[in-house]
A = this chain, B = another copy of it.
Amino acid sequence: MAQLTYQDLENHYSKFISENSLRKKLVTFWLPDPKYSNLEEDSFLKSKKPKDDLIPLSLGLPNPGFFPIKSMDLHIVDHPFDGKDSKEAHNIASVTKKDPNEMNLPFVLQYGDTKGLSPLLDFIEDFVKSVGNQPLYEEWDTIIANGSNDSLFKIFETLADENTTVMVEEFTFVPVLSAVYGAGAKAIPIKLNIPVVNQNNYQDTIDRPFDIKDEGVDVDYLSDLLDNWSTGPYKHLPKPTLLYTVTTGQNPTGVATYMEKKKKIIELAKIHDFIIIEDDPYGYLRMPKFNRLNPEENLYAMDEFSRKRYLEELMIKSYLSLDDDGRVLRLETFSKVFSPGLRLSFISGNKYLIKQIHDYTDISTRGASSVSQSLVYSTLQTISKRDNKPMVEAWLDWIIQVAKEYTNRRNHILKAAYESESFKKGYFSVIEPSAGMFVDFEINFDSLNGEFSVIEGMNRIEKYFIKNGLGVVLGYKMALDTELSKDHCGLIRTAISFADKPEDLVEAINRLNISCIEFFEKRLESI
């Protein structure tokens, strides 16, 4: 462990704090008045024995007796898509008044700490360590927020202002730009390497698969851009201090940035002194490589599969695990692996930066819903007890079950896509995702010989999708600079998460296929 102190962190990272957030400090009325900190007790008082039961009329809290709910029972499922509606005792998470556990109902319904409720924070810390994602220094911390949108908002408010340039992946979760622009900052795109399977390279890439080392952030582009900033395309902007990256199952492209590149990017971050904001909502939903020769193969479903293999062969570790000087902020969320309605996320990073986000939280949202925190914690506690394993293992096993189902869905949609007439005719290509909720395709307009621009083409073919009953996201709308990303403007993002069953995805591909054939063939016939 590096001997990095809080003071070291403050010395280095205070220059990153935004103008706007510097004045976001809590004004209190409950602390001792510093003017009178040296006031001595009167001589009479000195001889008096203090009472040991304080009546705390200073606290503006309601007594739990005023709360209208006395207990709460949560009925837990055995596995995702568990159709049973039984109420076995071992599947009930009870949150009661008398419960000896740390998260009893009066505690849950009361005001909670800004940072989060400590049992859940302790679990999170244990979990981060158990999957090997903790940083290489000791002075790190975690704060809970109200979903990753809130995490992002607080991070950019804290670290960005009119003098800030933020690097984001060329295709990105564009609502993040609201937070960047909202803080007054500018965003610039960083190229991604996006491996695309088309009819031409289909066979080749079975024999010689894409090297995953190449996938994700284009490190050469990034390095070149930063090394030659003063003569580059964005020389009119301040040199970037922040890199925002969705590292695994990238939204929208589905690609990942693997460890070898992460190491290089951390080195660049040190050289050029920027902070890495690693947004990883999909990281745990990692997918084994798609086996085109055996499309049903699902590593998660195999007998020999284990948590150990998941951690060693599948999960891509966080930038945090490579961070020895505190320049990584990692965002996770319970939205994708538990439920979005909780509005629960968390941020881990160096204690100085987390303290600044904590200060911002103190004066804005304060702690996230304790009820939501209780739902997560009590569920974890119950599945841990039910399955007779530690909470971190029980939770990882749940995540693995979710990832297994996503992999199954990925298998269905890719198999159907590769078998479709349109793929074979070269009308669209496929991006095999590394993880997460999205499988992307790219429409190939080459055969139209420039009849219209790719973007116009996308808006035209979208009408075919809709008429055929298929809703997708046009990827170019998630590009920061469609000129820079012109090679991939034919991208469509499909979410495999919301469908009721994997077979719906096969039907979706059927509709994609029909739309392409109609667009590329029948449309022309009718002209």
Contact = CB atoms under 8 A, between A and B. Distances in A.
Interface of A: 20, 23-30, 33, 35-36, 39, 41-45, 48, 50-63, 65-77, 80-82, 85, 97-98, 108-112, 146-147, 149-150, 153-154, 174-175, 177-179, 181-182, 184, 251, 335-344, 362-372, 374-375, 379, 383, 398, 402, 405, 437-438, 455-456, 459-460, 463-464, 466-474, 477-478, 493-500, 504-505, 507-508, 511, 518-519, 522-523, 525-527
A461 to B, nearest CB: 10
Contacts of A56: 471, 498
Contacts of A526: 42-44
B469 A51 contact: yes
Given A182-B363, A184-B23, A526-B43, A73 B72 contact: yes
Contact of A175 (B24, B27, B33, B66): B27
Nearest to A495: B60
Contacts of A53: 469
B496 A54 contact: no
A497 B58 CA distance: 10
B339 A67 contact: yes
Given A174-B27, A184-B23, A59 B149 contact: no
A164 to B, nearest CB: 13
Contacts of A60: 251, 437-438, 495, 497-498
A54 B498 CA distance: 12
Contacts of A184: 23
A302 B323 CA distance: 67
15 contacts: A28-B175, A29-B477, A30-B473, A55-B499, A55-B507, A58-B493, A60-B497, A67-B339, A69-B74, A69-B75, A85-B97, A110-B339, A149-B363, A150-B365, A178-B363
A496 to B, nearest CB: 7
A70 B42 contact: no
A448 to B, nearest CB: 12
A477 B32 CA distance: 9
A75 B178 CA distance: 41
